[in-house]
A and B are shown apart, each in its own frame.
Chain A
């Protein structure tokens, strides 16, 4: 799953704002771009797209803080 595809999902589905710029190292959480609701939806989306289960102990700040971090986590799972 590419960083651009993740950014696209966040822009369109979670934020409903096509023009929101999201850089690969932007902090998605401390900036409060994502709230708990959208974190849940993001995890579900990744699970469906990748055909994996993300266990609760992996849903951490470290793994979901930036697009790059999510990418690194998913590569670690591959």
Chain B
């Protein structure tokens, strides 16, 4: 790894991995993500660490299989901080892949299992991956990789045009912890690529230290302990899964892997929560809104569900209240934080929110322990109290920067002078917030969602909120397309209630009463369902590039 990959202001390397003295001469396991696996394999080897579709992997078994994986990777020449791709769907094989990579001193790179061969080859090359851990189910894509992309594939029996290691070979590797692997808590633990539908994907580098700060924050906030079960439906390449996997392993709890498709069947999803006795869920508002609308909640006993964390996009107040009232015993927290700095602010929704009638957007709360924020105006000065500005975050969970993208690193991070010799590094979130009189932060929108149309500044989130306030509109998206005059014009797309009769022209006249004329979308498309990204957010990018629909 070269210094170019590090964000500005980072001290060059440096060791702070804990005192010597642990058995194998490694830093104390508490400073490294996989230390927890070795720990719970000793104190509670029979406790479940992972559950998937009726099968369980205990901490003892995860310890054994991840040690075997580590030995295999080391035998194949893996060196410290080398990247290992993980290309598979949800399943118990994820555990040994993740922890085996870490125990061998490598960094794992989750690769979206649905990627087409060309895109997969791009990521493998971009990240310098030489080993990919996969399964037979992915053979078709692996076989179609271009000729110049020939990584070693571990975990498959399929006939592939590259060298492979079969599960049977893995099972013969030694099961004792590998010796002589040198890792510090500032070493790279994983790289998360954004799944953006346009542009070049960017990989965020996270260290053991940053990951543990996030995992321990999460475990502490929801008082996670042994016996807890956290559901994980997000794909591994979405950072929610980092919370699911590592908050649980820090405290000896279990992560219950749920195929992503289950959340598309809300009644199956709530049945899974009931049957598996899930106690904590961290997800996006969309999944929760579907759960409330179509999850048959009245016929389920979800008393097991102690805490729901949500984030990723704003949760409309009336929808949140509907779910809170359907789950009277559950606590709710709004967690805000870009993937670059997960969980940097949190707002615990008060119990009496259930009976409130406020339509104000939910605040994102206060900065979490280990984080600190600045609200900067357009000139880079601190915004006056109460004024909107871009939120810039310094956090123990902060990414070390984007892999191989010095250009992005120079733009996305801000170094402020401080008592620290190299200054303090802040991440520019691109999110506009303001501090309310009560001190809580309110999310106002994306900086890049403030557009100029016909010379006027328009906040696209406001257009969406206005559309959503129509009684028959269940969900709305506003986006821009280039127009013939070389400017941007505003367009809308909505999902309306079943049986509702709202037409685009009606919706536009409704908006004319609420918004200035230049902010009223020039077209509104009515869709059965809004398109979603693989992480469950409304895919405004694909709406904007789709051929204009009826209006």
A: which residues have CB within 8 A of B? 29-30, 32, 35-37, 39-41, 44, 56-62, 64
Contact = CB atoms under 8 A, between A and B. Distances in A.
B531 interface: yes
Nearest to A38: B529
Contacts of B293: 56
A35 B264 contact: yes
Interface stretch (B29-37, B79-87, B266-274, B433-441): B266-274
Q: Which of B293, B295, B528 has most chain A Cβ within 10 Å?
A: B528
A58 B261 contact: no
B265 A64 contact: yes
A61 B262 contact: yes
A32 B299 CA distance: 28
A59 B262 contact: no
A60 B528 CA distance: 19
Contact of B531 (A29, A37, A57): A37
Contact of A56 (B89, B261, B295, B531): B295
A70 B262 CA distance: 16
A40 B528 contact: yes
A32 to B, nearest CB: 6
Given A37-B528, A37-B529, A37-B531, A60 B264 contact: no
Contacts of A39: 264-265
Nearest to A62: B268
B386 interface: no
B128 interface: no
A30 B261 contact: yes
A59 B498 CA distance: 16
A29 B293 CA distance: 21
Interface of B: 89, 114, 259, 261-262, 264-268, 271, 293-296, 299, 528-529, 531-532
Given A37-B529, A40-B529, A56 B268 contact: no
Interface of chain A, main secondary structure: helix
A32 B114 contact: yes
Nearest to A61: B268
Contact of A60 (B89, B259, B271, B299): B271
Contacts of A37: 528-529, 531-532
B197 to A, nearest CB: 14
Contacts of A56: 266-267, 293-296
A59 B295 CA distance: 9
Contacts of A30: 89, 259, 261
A29 B296 CA distance: 20
Contacts of B299: 57
Given A60-B271, A64-B265, 8 more contacts: A30-B261, A32-B114, A37-B529, A37-B532, A57-B267, A57-B296, A58-B267, A59-B265
A59 B294 contact: yes
Q: List 9 tightest A-B contacts by C-beta distance, closest first.
A: A57-B296, A56-B294, A36-B264, A37-B529, A61-B268, A60-B268, A29-B261, A57-B267, A60-B267
Contacts of A40: 528-529
A62 B531 CA distance: 24
B143 to A, nearest CB: 17
Nearest to B266: A56
A41 B259 contact: no
A49 B295 CA distance: 24
Nearest to B300: A57
A35 B534 CA distance: 10
Nearest to B259: A30
Contact of A41 (B89, B528, B531): B528
Nearest to A60: B268
B261 A59 contact: no
A2 to B, nearest CB: 24
25 contacts: A29-B264, A30-B89, A30-B261, A32-B114, A32-B261, A39-B264, A39-B265, A40-B528, A41-B528, A44-B528, A56-B266, A56-B267, A56-B293, A56-B296, A57-B267, A57-B299, A58-B267, A59-B265, A59-B266, A59-B267, A60-B267, A60-B268, A60-B271, A61-B261, A61-B268
A9 to B, nearest CB: 14
Contacts of A41: 528-529
B88 to A, nearest CB: 13
Contacts of B294: 56, 59
Nearest to A41: B528
Contacts of A61: 261-262, 265, 268
